[in-house]
Each structure stands twice: as C-alpha cells, then as structure tokens.
Amino acid sequence: MDDRDGRDPRGGELMTARLSTEVLVIGWGKGGKTLARALGRAGRRVVLVERDDTMIGGTCINVACVPTKALVIQAERRRPEDDPDAYLARAIASRDTLVERLREANRQLLATVDAVTLVRGEASFTGPHTVRVTGGDEELEIAGEVVVVNTGTVPRMPGIDGQDGPRVHDSTSIQHLDSVPDRLAIVGAGTIALEFASMFARFGSAVTIIARGAGILPDEDDDVRASVEHALADAGVAVLADASTTRIDDGPERATVVTSAGEVAADAVLLATGRAPATAALDLAAADIRTDERGFVIVDDLLRTSSRRVWAVGDVTGGQQLTPISLDDSRIVHAQLTGAEERNRADRVAVPTAVFTTPPLARVGLTEREARERGLRVLVGAKPVATIAAMPRPKALGETHGIIKVVVDAETDLVLGAALHSVDAQEVINLVALAMRAGVTAAELRDGIWTHPSSTEALNEVLGELR
C-alpha cells in the first residue's frame, strides 16, 4: 500500500499505511458482504474490514443460523442405540466441515471482485469517515467517502456471579462440547434457549430451561405456547418458570444454578440471555455515531446513523436480528448509493420468523390476541397437527406434534397472521407471508392446489374451518 509512515516493524516501531476508498464496510456479515459485492461488481472501490478469520461470512454461517441448524438435524437423526458422546463428536465434525466450506465460499464471493479489497484487522474510528485498522505489527488508516457499520452482535453475558466457570457456556462455545452433558441447565427462555434445549434433549441430555418470566413464548397465544411446551416436555425438557438466576456455583463434580425458585444441578450451563452489539473496539464516539441504552447503533428508516454518510446494517442496529433483515438492509443502503428506487425499513410487511425446535415454530403477522386487542373482528382456524386429515406428511415422518393456526380478518378475508408449529413450518410460513404481502385471501389459500403429500395441504383443511 502507498504512503507508508514510520519505520519497518522489525525495527520495533509500528508500520502505518494509508488507503482511501469510495465505500468502507466494517464487518463481513450478510448485509455488508452483499453490499460490498454489489457495489464492487458495479465498479465502485470498496474496502471490507473483518477482524476475525473465524467470522468470515458473518455470524449466520459461522456460529448461528447454519451451524446450529446443522446440529439440530443431526440431533433429530440420532438413534437410541447411538453412543451419545461419539455421536456428538461426529455431529460437531460435520458442522465444522460445513462451516469451513461456507467460509471459503464467502472468501471467493468477494476475492473474485477486483474492486473489493479485503483487510484483516481490528477497526477503530478516528473520525467520521476514517478508521485505524490494527493487526500484528502493522497499522492501516482507511478513509471512506461512505462508511457502513456491519459488525453484528456477540452473546450477551448477564453479569451473574459464577458466569465465567468452566462448565458455563454461551451459544458459541456450547457448539464444541467434548461430551453430552447428562444434565444441561439453560438460563433464558428465548429463541436461542429453545433451540438448544430441543437439540440437546435429542443428543441425550436432561434439559432444564430457567425462565425469568412465567414461561416460554410469552407473546404467543396460549394454544400455540401449549403446543410447543408439549413437544419440549415429550423430548425431556423441563421449564422452571418465574426463576431469576442469582449465581452459578461450580463444584468438583457439577455446577449448581441458584435461582429465586430453587437450585438446578447441571453438568453444563448455557447462558442464552440475548445478544449485545459488537462495537466495543469501534470507538463510535470518535465518529459521532449515537447508540441507544443497550449500545446498539441508532439508525433511521434509511439506516442512516447520526453521522453524515455513515450507515449501519444488520444486527448491530438492534432491530430484528435475522439474516433476511440484514439482506434487506443491504438493499436499502444500495438504493441510496446508486440512485435506485428508494427503499426503507417501513416497507417491510409480513416478515416471517422461525424457531428451530423439533418440530419448528414459524410465525408471521398478528397473534389472535393481538388482533382482538386492536379491535379487529377475526375468524380463526386452528387444529392440532395430529388431527389434520389433509396433512399426511407429518404422519409419514413420524412427527405429529404441533398446531396450525391462522388468523383472518372477518371483513376482508385477508390473513392477519399465522403460527405454524409443525414439520416444514419454516417453509410453509413463507407462502403465508407472501399471501399476506400480495393480498391473497384466505379463501384462495383454502382452495389452493398443493403438492401431495405436503405440509402446505394443512391450509386446505384449517382454513376450511374458520370460525
């Protein structure tokens, strides 16, 4: 690189170089890498900075969405006669192989775009459009006409005594256990907690979820929540409700999680207490970038920060922490930088989500309770999966836990929301979400001709019994 200052690092002083670019992206997450590739292919000069080789491609492919779902699938396939520890070791090895393939694909995704320069190191703002990147004995100062912050999140530690004990894990470290814990205690009752609870129960652990509130899924309707609770209980997962964790005692043979509702003995403890923005090293104040009380970067509906021509995308903004949201963030910023038709966060309608328990819980739109609280006159179709005659696929797969529930506006026949707790729910929910965005009526979904046997066929029967 040009304009080097200082002496050779072998002489004991830091080597500094300077680089200017049109677009500077900090962090290799979904939104940042998609934006970098699109702009680079259009001829814009882009520099992308990533501090960690193990996070190339972002959180999703390295420690979150993809590797955890790979482990979920492996857990579902375990047979009773499989040795738990040996099986877990093979599952983790398979997970790691998949992650490395995805990392390499992400390397190539950007390495093949000549206009994109990849920089490895820790970035810290020195001004609104300049950062200092340090790595090893070298230092690089980068100036960008446009800056995009895309650093994502890390597991949030709850700040309880004993959380640094050797038997205590976060959602990243628990993916590389040496053996299956006989007893796993999970502090937290959100999406991460439920997915790991369902997973490790099938790997062979006796799992206890420690919920600070009244239980799991407080925002769901009672019938949907009961369906998930039943599936978890059948898998061997217990829920300790109204339990605030005060400390974790690590003894010679086990850990003890001390809560306001009693003690839970465990061979391993997972802290699933949310995620925090990965901004500690950025020195956001130097760029006049404002954050909220939790440390997330504050943005408007165009993803602009408080600093001019500095945007933030992905989980670091503190909104819905979903890969498809990060992807859509990249579209919003791309439109502003290229003069394309403007997009903004307010355009997002009927965003589907999924919790990958076994079976998964997927949802979109309003719950029945939310719709009624808004004063809407609604019709509801809801049936346990085991009783839906027109849905043979779960029976063929041997997994009939769950419920299909759809909430419909009685005046317009438009779908207001749905909760699908069943096999293939993560796929069928996309159809429902598209129907909501396109204004397809419940009657059109009810009378749709779907493949057979499939889980989509549940819509034929459930929507035929609206009341």
* Nearest residue to 387 (alpha-carbon basis) of 445, 461, 279: 461
Is residue 395 a known part of a binding site?
A: no
Q: Do 461 and 442 meet the contact criterion of CB atoms below 8 Å apart? A: no
Kindly tell me the burial class for residue 280, based on how many C-beta atoms sit within 10 Å of its own C-beta (0-12, 13-18, 19 or more): exposed
Distance CA 263, CA 162 (A): 14
Is residue 69 a known part of a binding site?
A: yes
Distance CA 261, CA 320 (A): 31
Q: Do 415 and 429 meet the contact criterion of CB atoms below 8 Å apart? A: no
Is residue 274 a known part of a binding site?
A: yes
Is residue 26 a known part of a binding site?
A: no
Non-local CB neighbours of 451 within 8 Å, separated by 6+ positions? none
Non-local CB neighbours of 150 within 8 Å, separated by 6+ positions? 25, 26, 27, 28, 29, 31, 32, 35, 312, 313, 314, 316, 326
| Distances 129 to 2, 91, 149, 171 between C-alpha atoms, Å | 19, 44, 11, 34
Active site residue 129: no
Neighbours of 26 (CB within 10 A): 28
* Nearest residue to 358 (alpha-carbon basis) of 402, 322, 403, 404: 402
Is residue 32 a known part of a binding site?
A: no
Is residue 303 a known part of a binding site?
A: no
Is residue 315 a known part of a binding site?
A: yes
Of the listed 176, 230, 421, 452, which one is catalytic?
452
Is residue 40 a known part of a binding site?
A: no
Distance CA 430, CA 234 (A): 28
Distance CA 180, CA 196 (A): 12
- Chain-centre distance for alpha carbon 87: 26
Is residue 189 a known part of a binding site?
A: yes
Distance CA 129, CA 24 (A): 8
Entry field: residues in the chain: 467
Q: What region does 102 belong to: left with phi over 0, alpha with psi -120 to 50, or beta?
A: alpha
Non-local CB neighbours of 366 within 8 Å, separated by 6+ positions? 374, 407, 416, 417
Distance CA 227, CA 229 (A): 5
- Chain-centre distance for alpha carbon 281: 22
Known binding site: residues?
69, 188-195, 274, 315
Residues tagged active-site? 452
Known binding site for FAD: residues?
69, 315
